[in-house]
Amino acid sequence: MAIAKKLFNTGLVLGGALGALALYNKVTETMAGELDTVLTGEERRYPWKYGDMFYEVKGSRDAKPLVLIHGFGPGASSYEWRKNIDTLSEQFRVFALDLLGFGLSDHPTIDYDAETYTDLLNDFIREVVGKPAIVVARGLTSAYVIAAAYRRPQLFERLILVGAPPTILTESYPGPLNALQKAVLRTPIIGQFIYNLMTSRQALRAYYDVKGYHNPGLITDEFVEYIYTSAHQPNSRHASAAFLSNNLQLDVHEPLARLQVPVVAVWGREGFLTPAEASAAFKRVNSRVDVRIIDKATLQVQDEQAGQFNNLVREFAGAAVK
C-alpha cells in the first residue's frame, strides 16, 4: 500500500509538471503570432512531396535566374536576404526561398536529413526555375548546393557560397549522443519546452551576437522579433532538431573536387576561422574556387556588408566563364 501511494504521488507530480510544461508551450506558441514576409516580391508556393515550400520571386522574366538559399539557425528564413533582393532583382530574376521546416514554408514532422534539402533544391531548380541558375547559399546549405550541382551540373551556372564551413569537406556522422538529442527535441512536450527555452528572445539575441554579426548594433529589436516569430511557428523544432543534432551534415569533399561549375566562396574577415584557414581548406580540394574576403563581417556577410556583397554577386555573375 505504501509503495502504491508513493507511485501515485510521484505520478501526480510528474503529471502536474508535464501539464505546466504543456501550458507554457501553448502560451509561447500563441504569443509568437503569425509570420509574414518583409521581402518585396511575388509570393508563391512550390508543392513538394513532403510539403509546400514558400518562395518569393522578383525581377524580369527574361533576366538570368538567381536563387538565394538561407542558412540554418534558430528562426532562419529568407528574411536574411532582405537587403539584397531589391538590388539584385534589377539585374536578375531572383528567387528567395524559405526551406522546408523554416519561415513561411510547411513544417512537416518528417525526419529531416541532408538528402531532404539536396533533393528539394534540385527539384525546385529543375521544375520552377527551369534553366541554369546562379545559386547563392549561406552556411551549411552550401553543401547541398555543391552536391546538387555535382549531380545535375546542367541546372547550375555558377555557385556563390557564403560562410561555408570547412566541416562540409570532412566525414561527419551523428553519434549516439546526437541521436538522443534529436529524439528528445522531437518529443511533443519536453522537447518543445527545451526548444522554446533555446529560442527565447534573450537566447536568440545572444545566439546571433556570438554566431552571426561583427556589429551587434544590427541585432535590433525588430530583427529579434522577426526571428522569434519565425522560430515559433508550429512544428519548427523538427528541422531545428536535425540541425542541432548534426543530422544535416553532408561531406562534399569529392563532389567539390570534381565540380566543373564556377564557384566563388565568400567569408567575413572576422569569422571564427581566419579567412586564410577557411579558404585554404577549400582551395586544397578545388584550386579553381575563387575566394573573396569581406571586412567587418562574420557569418551574415550579405546583411552586414550588403552593398559590397551585392556588387560581388553582380560582378561574379557577369564575368566570363574560364
| pLDDT-based confidence at residue 270 (cuts at 50, 70, 90) | confident
Identify whether 65 is part of a domain. Answer: yes
Cell of 60: 524580369
Identify whether 61 is part of a domain. Answer: yes
- 132-166 per-position pLDDT tens digit: 999 999 999 999 999 999 999 999 999 999 999 99
- 206-255 per-position pLDDT tens digit: 999 887 799 999 999 999 999 999 999 999 999 998 998 889 999 999 99
* Ramachandran quadrant class, 75 (left: phi over 0; alpha: psi -120 to 50; beta: rest): left
CA dihedral 215, 220, 226, 232 (to 10 degrees): 80
Identify whether 231 is part of a domain. Answer: no
Identify whether 132 is part of a domain. Answer: yes
What contacts 250, CB < 8 A, 6 or more positions away?
Answer: 114, 118, 140, 143, 144, 147, 168
Identify whether 273 is part of a domain. Answer: yes
The CATH number of residue 51's host domain is 3.40.50.1820
Angstrom distance (rounded) from CA 23 to CA 43: 34
- Confidence (pTM): 0.91
Identify whether 204 is part of a domain. Answer: no
Identify whether 241 is part of a domain. Answer: no
| pLDDT-based confidence at residue 276 (cuts at 50, 70, 90) | confident
Mean pLDDT of the chain: 88
Q: What is the pLDDT of residue 186?
A: 83
Identify whether 146 is part of a domain. Answer: yes
A 10 A CB-CB count for 102 gives 28
Q: Which domain holds residue 283?
A: 39-171+249-318
CA dist list (Å): 256 to 54, 68, 306: 28, 20, 27
Cell of 293: 574576403
Please report, rounded to a whole number, the percentage of residues in the chain having pLDDT higher than 70.
88
Number of domains the chain is built from:
1
Q: What is the pLDDT of residue 217?
A: 93
pLDDT at position 311 over 90: yes
| pLDDT-based confidence at residue 31 (cuts at 50, 70, 90) | low
